[in-house]
Chains A and B, each alone.
Chain A
Amino acid sequence: MKELAPMKELMPFYQAVDNPAALGRSITHKKVIGTLCSYAPEELIYAAGFHPMRLFASKKEIHLAHNHLQTYCCSVVRGVLEDSLSGHLDFLHGAVFPHTCDSMQRLSDIWRLKGRYPFFADVILPAKMNTPSANAYMAAVLTRFKTDLEADAGITITQQALADAVHLYNRIRSTLSSIYAHKSKYPASLTNRDIHALVKGSMLMDRQQAADLLDKVVRRLASADPAADHARTWGTKRLILSGSVCDMPALYDLFQDTGAAVVGDDLCTGSRWFEGLTDEDDEPIAAITRRYARRMVCPAKHQGLHTRAAHLVEKAQSLKADGVVFVLLKFCDPHAFDYPYIKAFLDDAGIRSLVLELDDSQDSLGQLATRIETFIHMI
């Protein structure tokens, strides 16, 4: 089910995804702060007048980063460091590192010691996000981060600015959620690659622009004939992706080529970034803290012994998924550690799964295609 060119409303997202560094350089009215994970409190960065931009590895050949990180660090961490050391990210004013996995912490250390950019911040998140003491601690961490941003920007972040940022992010989150829901209902209405471009593009481009463009996509989808979309869904297998960073558009194409639609995910570069809204009626810092407490954790955090597995099973069942594909970055310990028990939960629920261990710069897709085709055939 290869599709023709993407609808015109999606083109700005494709352009953003195509060359994030060019996009970063083109943003001249604001200083750009890089983020590396969906735990980065972007509303604060935005409210301080900066442009938050998610950093992905540009997938250039890695050689400078080898002097600092072992090859068993994941390709995202090594790739982003390479981009920094090679000057590819010189448009950045700084970066923020939420406390998550060990590799990310080491990247943060090297980044700080290299001192290439004026602004640097670690956001030391609690390991548990949902206890009363963790909430109090988290609110203090966010307040401190706010102070750091204010000092660098030479401004005071007003409650109004923060409330506006929360509102804008809620708009982005709810439109992305509704677009994904539309894709789940009418799998042929958007290609798998479209979803990747929409989510990644929204993490890169000006947030006000992203929110406006996402609205246009929603309107366009609403105006399409659902019956025609529905007719084209025949025979499609429904997949959910689970993992951390999934930045391989070619992988989304492989699913598409075998007739499988990605109808949902549990990815850091997917649903974990946009699921769940921040209460707009409450004090913003408290509300942001509460969203993180409610949001599904990544394996570097703790919520309950079986929370992640129960969440994935529930998601697969509610989206009527035919299978779950774990897209794990090679050498990613936290995800590899969680995988066996989550797989066992899926097995018990009768949900088929496939695990792919990937280097996100990998371009030999033959073996992957064999696995994916067989899995789709199997389910």
Chain B
Amino acid sequence: MIYAGIDIGSITAKAALIEDNRLLATHTVFTGYNPAAAGRQVFDELLMQTGISAGAVKKVVATGYGRASVEFAHKTLTEIICHGAGAHFLNTGVRGVIDVGGQDSKAILLDAQGHVENFAMNDKCAAGTGRFLEVMAQALQIPLDQMGEISLGAENPVKISSICTVFAESEVISMIARQKDRRDIAAGIHRSAALRVASLAGKIHLAPPVVMTGGVAKNKGMLQALEDYLGYGIKVGAVPQENGAVGAAVLAAGT
């Protein structure tokens, strides 16, 4: 039996297929302005890549902020529930998830069965999200996917005092004007974002073993800053960005 999960995030749309408790494949596209079309596209492309026909997929669960727009889904569930299920499926024994996506960051506490026991989510504000890092990478004129690596070479990370993304950006620009080391600024940016996320984790008393999911988990600088604040190691799986879609597929199989 094959099951699919579709996760429509604010920046990317992800799809995952599982068969007999085994992850088959995942795929990611940009969401763009039409979440419904992105859901269709990411699913069709994944089927094409794997050579699986749509008819062979028994059930589809949609998640993410655009979950309601996936017309071919049999059910919708929130990304918090799906990230919990995905993390539990991919990492046996995990009890906590930190998911940092494009516009949301969340800390999720799981019970031994992978069910959500408690959660905390950022307010409608970009601080501590992927969008924050994107804006800062632009200000620093470095590619987003290299910002993490670059920040690892910092010796004296700067302190960003503004929580607001807009104010933080002008703070960064003034640091650039003062010719601060780019690595130190990048590390400061990660520390600033990590602090917001760490406070979410603290709110619900997250404790290891914890995995990080969402697109931002691929940023090593952010991961290190988070580990520093939390005081324990955080695991990142092979498909952090697609973790929510995997969880949706797992829950499709379970319903």
- List residues of A whose CB falls within 8 A of some B CB: 357, 362, 364, 366-367, 369-371, 373-374, 377-378
Kindly list the 6 A-B residue pairs having the minimum CB-CB distance in the complex, ordered from nearest. A374-B80, A374-B78, A373-B78, A370-B78, A378-B116, A366-B65
Whether B79 and A378, one on each chain, are in contact in the complex, defined by CB atoms closer than 8 angstroms, is no
26 A-B pairs within 8 Å (CB atoms) are namely: A357-B123, A364-B124, A366-B65, A367-B104, A367-B121, A367-B123, A369-B78, A370-B65, A370-B79, A370-B80, A371-B119, A371-B121, A373-B77, A373-B78, A373-B81, A374-B78, A374-B80, A374-B81, A374-B116, A374-B119, A377-B77, A377-B78, A378-B115, A378-B116, A378-B118, A378-B119
Interface residues of B in 83-101 (CB under 8 A from A): none
Output the least CB separation between A178 and chain B (Å). Answer: 36
Interface flags, B107-122, vs A, CB<8A=1, else 0: 0000000011111010
Q: How distant is the Cα of A378 from the Cα of B84 in the complex, in angstroms?
A: 12
Counting chain A CB atoms within 10 Å of each CB, which of B79, B104, B115, B118 scores highest? B118
- Provided the pairs A366-B65, A370-B65, A370-B78 are in contact, do residues A377 and B121 lie with their beta carbons within 8 angstroms? no
Which residue of A has the minimal Cβ distance to B65? A366
Output the least CB separation between A250 and chain B (Å). Answer: 15
Q: How distant is the Cα of A84 from the Cα of B80 in the complex, in angstroms?
A: 42
Interface flags, B47-91, vs A, CB<8A=1, else 0: 000000000000000000100000000000111110000000000
Which residue of B has the minimal Cβ distance to A352? B118
Output the least CB separation between A40 and chain B (Å). Answer: 32
Q: How distant is the Cα of A309 from the Cα of B211 in the complex, in angstroms?
A: 35
Beyond A371-B121, A374-B80, 20 additional pairs, beta carbon < 8 A: A357-B123, A362-B124, A364-B124, A366-B65, A367-B104, A367-B124, A370-B65, A370-B78, A370-B80, A370-B121, A373-B77, A373-B78, A373-B81, A374-B78, A374-B116, A377-B81, A378-B115, A378-B116, A378-B118, A378-B119
Contacts of B115 in A (CB 8 A): 378
Q: How distant is the Cα of A377 from the Cα of B80 in the complex, in angstroms?
A: 10
Output the least CB separation between A104 and chain B (Å). Answer: 24
Which residue of A has the minimal Cβ distance to B104? A367
Output the least CB separation between B107 and chain A (Å). Answer: 12
Contacts of A378 in B (CB 8 A): 115-119
Counting chain B CB atoms within 10 Å of each CB, which of A366, A370, A377 scores highest? A370
Q: How distant is the Cα of A361 from the Cα of B65 in the complex, in angstroms?
A: 21
* A-B interface pairs (CB < 8 A), number: 34
Interface residues of B in 111-148 (CB under 8 A from A): 115-119, 121, 123-124
Contacts of B78 in A (CB 8 A): 369-370, 373-374, 377
Output the least CB separation between B28 and chain A (Å). Answer: 20
Whether B116 and A377, one on each chain, are in contact in the complex, defined by CB atoms closer than 8 angstroms, is yes
Contacts of A373 in B (CB 8 A): 77-78, 81
Contacts of A369 in B (CB 8 A): 78
Contacts of A377 in B (CB 8 A): 77-78, 81, 116
Q: How distant is the Cα of A373 from the Cα of B123 in the complex, in angstroms?
A: 16
Contacts of B121 in A (CB 8 A): 367, 370-371
Contacts of A362 in B (CB 8 A): 124
Q: How distant is the Cα of A58 from the Cα of B27 in the complex, in angstroms?
A: 46
Q: How distant is the Cα of A222 from the Cα of B54 in the complex, in angstroms?
A: 51
Output the least CB separation between A234 and chain B (Å). Answer: 18
Contacts of B104 in A (CB 8 A): 367, 370
Output the least CB separation between A33 and chain B (Å). Answer: 36
Contacts of A371 in B (CB 8 A): 119, 121
Q: How distant is the Cα of A16 from the Cα of B65 in the complex, in angstroms?
A: 34
Contacts of B123 in A (CB 8 A): 357, 367
Counting chain B CB atoms within 10 Å of each CB, which of A364, A377, A378 scores highest? A378
Output the least CB separation between B38 and chain A (Å). Answer: 16
Output the least CB separation between B109 and chain A (Å). Answer: 10
Q: How distant is the Cα of A357 from the Cα of B124 in the complex, in angstroms?
A: 10
Q: How distant is the Cα of A151 from the Cα of B124 in the complex, in angstroms?
A: 49
Contacts of A367 in B (CB 8 A): 104, 121, 123-124
Contacts of A357 in B (CB 8 A): 123
Output the least CB separation between B110 and chain A (Å). Answer: 11
Q: How distant is the Cα of A366 from the Cα of B102 in the complex, in angstroms?
A: 14
Output the least CB separation between A248 and chain B (Å). Answer: 15
Output the least CB separation between B118 and chain A (Å). Answer: 7
Which residue of A has the minimal Cβ distance to B119? A374
Output the least CB separation between A129 and chain B (Å). Answer: 33
Counting chain A CB atoms within 10 Å of each CB, which of B79, B80, B123 scores highest? B80
Q: How distant is the Cα of A362 from the Cα of B117 in the complex, in angstroms?
A: 28
Contacts of B77 in A (CB 8 A): 373, 377
Output the least CB separation between B141 and chain A (Å). Answer: 31
Q: How distant is the Cα of A370 from the Cα of B104 in the complex, in angstroms?
A: 11
Contacts of B116 in A (CB 8 A): 374, 377-378
Contacts of A374 in B (CB 8 A): 78, 80-81, 116, 119
Q: How distant is the Cα of A131 from the Cα of B133 in the complex, in angstroms?
A: 56
Output the least CB separation between B113 and chain A (Å). Answer: 13
Contacts of B80 in A (CB 8 A): 370, 374
Counting chain A CB atoms within 10 Å of each CB, which of B78, B79, B81, B123 scores highest? B78
Contacts of B117 in A (CB 8 A): 378
Which residue of B has the minimal Cβ distance to A369? B78
Which residue of B has the minimal Cβ distance to A375? B119
Q: How distant is the Cα of A127 from the Cα of B77 in the complex, in angstroms?
A: 46
Output the least CB separation between A80 and chain B (Å). Answer: 23
Contacts of B118 in A (CB 8 A): 378
Output the least CB separation between B120 and chain A (Å). Answer: 10
Q: How distant is the Cα of A378 from the Cα of B81 in the complex, in angstroms?
A: 9
Contacts of B119 in A (CB 8 A): 371, 374, 378
Contacts of B81 in A (CB 8 A): 373-374, 377
